[in-house]
Amino acid sequence: MNVTNQAQALLTPFAMGDLDLTNRVALAPMTRARAGETRLPNALMAEYYVQRAGAGLLITEATSVSEQGIGWVGNPGIYTDAQGEAWQQVTDAVHAAGSKIFLQLWHCGRTSHSDFHGGEPAVSASAIRIEGDGVHTPLGKKDYEVPRALETDEVFGVVADFVAAARRAKAAGFDGVEVHGANGYLLDQFLQSATNKRTDKYGGSVENRFRLMREIVEGVIEVFGAGRVAVRLSPNGVYNGMGSDDFRETFRYAAEQLDDYGLAYLHVMDGLAFGFHEKGEPITLPEFRAYFRGPLMGNCGYDQDTAEAAVASGAADMIAIGRPFIANPDLVERYRNGWPLAADTEMTTWYGGDEAGYTDLPSYREA
């Protein structure tokens, strides 16, 4: 389907609660790791987001809510006042460019490594190691380690870290926050039965496994209001060793519970571009529509045609686009005008470095 000569539902405005978005394209959160050892947002990052402000909504790369939650080299943080204040240059620049921006709140959990934590193990729902290729640490690539299961009375501290991060995000001028509950990070580790073998109030039943996400969402809503809070889920994903036999029951329950809050949107990694756990038929956006009545955002492997089809059919209200936005900072303008897309950049520039492969990609008009 060639949508360039059609109405292009994807490019129509969207009222997301009290926020008016210029179109239904979101910049997907992608870890670009340009914050350095201080994890302070900087002018280069501001330039990167402004270049992509043609999207109706920008979602920042995953941002650490605490030192305990760190598990990536060079990603930004929001666990200190200095980090929060540094984000202001990004939000001011994006707003001046006419777009809206949400901060994604992140705790890596077991995907981290003791190298990030002074020799102390990473934490998780249970002491279950990822079977995978390994993790990039400040001291080089290492094998995954067995994490330490958080004690029951420690979980409150995780909730408090997310709430404190949300307060800093609000002070920094963000339009809202997205709670990262996907892709095998800490909240996903608590939610899924494959990684949560706890016997306390945070384990066992799906209600208990959802408890941490509920407490974090409710805490963050106290800061921003429900209409400025979003959640990201990945029901079909195998990334970071995920995939549970009861995934359909688990994610239906999560979507139904989240629907009660009146969130800004539910961000669903419905595509299979990061792999599929093959525990049953994938959960699709139309299936989520039956569980979640608020704004629904699809993600993972969409191009212009499939994104347009999802929005035009009513399966999604918005679509988050990731990798095509790296080489095409003016992606929305290219969609609107039917201009060809630039080829993908070298993967070596995706995660860390300087402006190369980050802010030096030309627009179509400049090329």
What are the catalytic residues? 185
How far is CA 4 from its chain centroid? 28
Nearest of 121, 124, 118, 110 to residue 139 by alpha carbon: 118
How does DSSP classify residue 353? Answer: -
Cβ atoms of 241 and 145 within 8 Å: the answer is: no
Handedness of CA 343, 347, 350, 352 (dihedral sign): negative
Cβ atoms of 46 and 97 within 8 Å: the answer is: no
Contacts of 195 (CB under 8 A, 6+ apart): 110, 124, 125, 126, 128, 184, 188, 189, 241, 242, 244
Cβ atoms of 350 and 326 within 8 Å: the answer is: yes
87: amino acid identity, one letter: W
Q: Which two tokens stand for residue 201?
A: 């109030």
Nearest of 31, 39, 296 to residue 165 by alpha carbon: 39
Residue 353 CA neighbour count, 13 Å, CB half: 13
Instruction: Give the span between the Cα atoms of 12 and 22, in whole angstroms.
Output: 7
